Amino acid sequence: MSTDILLIPGPIVISKRVQDALGTPSVAHTCPEFVAKFSDTLKNTRRLFKAGDSAQPVVLAGSGTLGWDITASNLICPEEKALVLSTGFFSDSFADCLTAYGAEVRKLNAPLGDVVPLDEVRSALKKDAYKLITITHVDTSTAVLSDVKSICEVVKEISPETLIVVDAVCSAGCETLDFDAWGIDYALTASQKALGAPPGLSISMLSQRATRVALQKEEQHTFFTSLKKWIPIMQNYEKRQASYFATPAVQLVNALKESTGEILEYGLDKRIEKHREVSEWFKSHLTGAMGLKLVSANDAVSAHGLTAVYVKDPPAAISALKARGIVIAGGIHKDIKGEYIRIGHMGESACNDSLKHLQKCIDALKQAAL
Ligand SMILES: Cc1ncc(COP(=O)(O)O)c(C=O)c1O
């Protein structure tokens, strides 16, 4: 087994408690013990998104991408309009998914390393009626953080009927995200980033209004992602009643219960503040003494769960760190693919000081003389 420190922007290092939860013996997905764990997991999810009782959590076997399919197949119909705010590769892929299901997509592209100016969002919403808008809270290809709260305010002011969809795959658990207070309709994430579980679960939250849209949708061009099928199942599980549409990923749900439990025990707000502190400390080493340039344009648009930074020779940097026992990732934004590296600092690696993962990473980056 590799003893390398995994510092890519997800999957991330998982705690011993989470790893133990994965190794539990098989049980029936309908047995009372598992049903109780699933119920607790759904309740924890609600708290992580800061969503109240009227919101509907959904936890399915699948990855973050499944949340895009859920959006495209339940919240919009073919030929309806979607406005996509693009801050990089993942925002673009979300647009591709919506297009694949027949939505009419208009994309507003941010300048590389920056966000879409609010005025552009405002004028697009004034010009056309959109069924939904998508915001990628953190685009993991650029480490750009979007101001979801301000965008929500603009949408509520100009086009209150437009559903607000937030891709929180790289933000849930490490960035401030206030589902109810900001008026988000659908937020989607995945298990393998700041939530601190292994890959394999799609985790999302629907507002009352989005739940209504999904339940009233007449044409169903989907089966597995049908929220008409899943919402009653989730409601039953949360009430501790076994229910079946398709078999849940039992061990992964066990792991997510523990990882979300750890975050809530640590304190969600404290955890988010810790990610901010660690990120600022980490970035200041790179941009200070090491004289490197970040992909994100300024502090206000810099994510706190990862860093994307330009280096002279990314493959050499990745190999040099690997030789020192640290695994980082290369760039994936089409315009600058071969010019930068990405380093994740989420979950255990950011919050468990005793591991010293990021100090080790800084030391290795300095030795590698980028
Ligand atoms: C912002 C964002 N959205 C969506 C995805 C897709 O998630 P997955 O790879 O789990 O399908 C990712 C993956 O890294 C991501 O970073």
Cα(202) to ligand 1 centroid in Å equals 10
Total residues belonging to the chain: 370
Atom of ligand 1 nearest to the CA of 66: 11
Cα(31) to ligand 1 centroid in Å equals 32
Atom of ligand 1 nearest to the CA of 68: 4
Structural tokens at position 14 = 């998982």
Pairing assessment for the beta strands 138-139 and 144-145 based on DSSP bridges? antiparallel
Is the pLDDT higher at 289 or at 76?
A: 76
The answer, yes or no, to whether any atom of ligand 1 lies below 6 A from the CB of 200, is no
342 is in an annotated binding site: yes
3 band by pLDDT with thresholds 50, 70 and 90? confident
The answer, yes or no, to whether any atom of ligand 1 lies below 6 A from the CB of 140, is yes
The answer, yes or no, to whether any atom of ligand 1 lies below 6 A from the CB of 346, is no
The answer, yes or no, to whether any atom of ligand 1 lies below 6 A from the CB of 90, is yes
Rounded distance between C-alpha atoms, residue 211 and residue 222, angstroms: 16
- For domain 16-264, say whether CATH 3.40.640.10 is its number: yes
How far lies 72's CA from each of 34, 98, 103, 148, in Å? Answer: 30, 5, 8, 20
In this prediction, residues 38-54 reach a mean pLDDT of: 98
Cα(170) to ligand 1 centroid in Å equals 7
3-state secondary structure of 5: strand
Structural tokens at position 24 = 């539990």
Is it the case that residue 169 has pLDDT exceeding 90?
Answer: yes
Is it the case that residue 355 has pLDDT exceeding 80?
Answer: yes
Walk across the sheet containing 132-136 and list its strands. 56-61, 201-206, 186-190, 163-167, 132-136, 81-86, 104-109
Q: Whose C-alpha lies nearest to ligand 1, atom 8?
A: 64
> Mutation test of ligand 1: which of 71, 89, 169, 346 has the most ligand atoms closer than 8 Å to its C-beta?
169
How far lies 356's CA from each of 5, 345, 351, 362, in Å? Answer: 10, 11, 10, 10
In this prediction, residues 234-249 reach a mean pLDDT of: 97
Residue 60 CB neighbour total at 10 angstroms: 22
301 band by pLDDT with thresholds 50, 70 and 90? very high
The answer, yes or no, to whether any atom of ligand 1 lies below 6 A from the CB of 65, is yes
In this prediction, residues 48-55 reach a mean pLDDT of: 98
Structural tokens at position 151 = 């965008």
Q: Whose C-alpha lies nearest to ligand 1, atom 9?
A: 64
Pairing assessment for the beta strands 81-86 and 104-109 based on DSSP bridges? parallel
DSSP state of 354: G
pLDDT more than 90, % of the chain: 97
Res 175: pLDDT: 98
Res 289: pLDDT: 87
The domain limits of the chain are 5-12+267-367, 16-264
Structural tokens at position 306 = 């990862």
Res 280: pLDDT: 98
Contact by Cβ (8 Å): 8, 347: no
The answer, yes or no, to whether any atom of ligand 1 lies below 6 A from the CB of 187, is no
Res 190: pLDDT: 98
The mean predicted confidence, pLDDT, of the chain is: 97
Q: DSSP for 117-135?
A: -HHHHHHHHHHS--SEEEE
- Which residues, in sequence order, are bridge partners of residue 340? 310
Instruction: Assess whether the region 5-12+267-367 and the region 16-264 belong to the same CATH fold.
Output: no
User: Which secondary structure element, helix H or strand E, spans residue 310, and what is its range?
Assistant: strand 306-310
> Mutation test of ligand 1: which of 86, 96, 97, 170 has the most ligand atoms closer than 8 Å to its C-beta?
170
Cα(353) to ligand 1 centroid in Å equals 26
Is it the case that residue 221 has pLDDT exceeding 90?
Answer: no
Q: DSSP for 326-342?
A: EE-EE---TTTGGGEEE
Cα(212) to ligand 1 centroid in Å equals 26
User: Which of 272, 237, 268 minimizes the C-alpha distance to 47?
Assistant: 268
Atom of ligand 1 nearest to the CA of 141: 16
Contact by Cβ (8 Å): 176, 272: yes
1 band by pLDDT with thresholds 50, 70 and 90? low
Q: Which residues contact 160 (CB under 8 A, 6 or more apart)?
A: none
Is it the case that residue 10 has pLDDT exceeding 70?
Answer: yes
Res 368: pLDDT: 87
Q: Whose C-alpha lies nearest to ligand 1, atom 16?
A: 140
Is it the case that residue 2 has pLDDT exceeding 80?
Answer: no
The answer, yes or no, to whether any atom of ligand 1 lies below 6 A from the CB of 89, is no
Q: Whose C-alpha lies nearest to ligand 1, atom 7?
A: 64
The answer, yes or no, to whether any atom of ligand 1 lies below 6 A from the CB of 167, is yes
Residue 52: CA count within 13 A, CB half-sphere: 6
Is it the case that residue 7 has pLDDT exceeding 70?
Answer: yes
pLDDT tens-digit series, residues 84-138: 999 999 999 999 999 999 999 999 999 999 999 999 999 999 999 999 999 999 9
In this prediction, residues 306-321 reach a mean pLDDT of: 97
Rg (Cα) of the chain, in Å, rounded? Answer: 20
CATH superfamily of 5-12+267-367: Aspartate Aminotransferase, domain 1 (3.90.1150.10)
User: Which of 245, 248, 164 minimizes the C-alpha distance to 203?
Assistant: 248
In this prediction, residues 281-301 reach a mean pLDDT of: 96
Cα(64) to ligand 1 centroid in Å equals 5
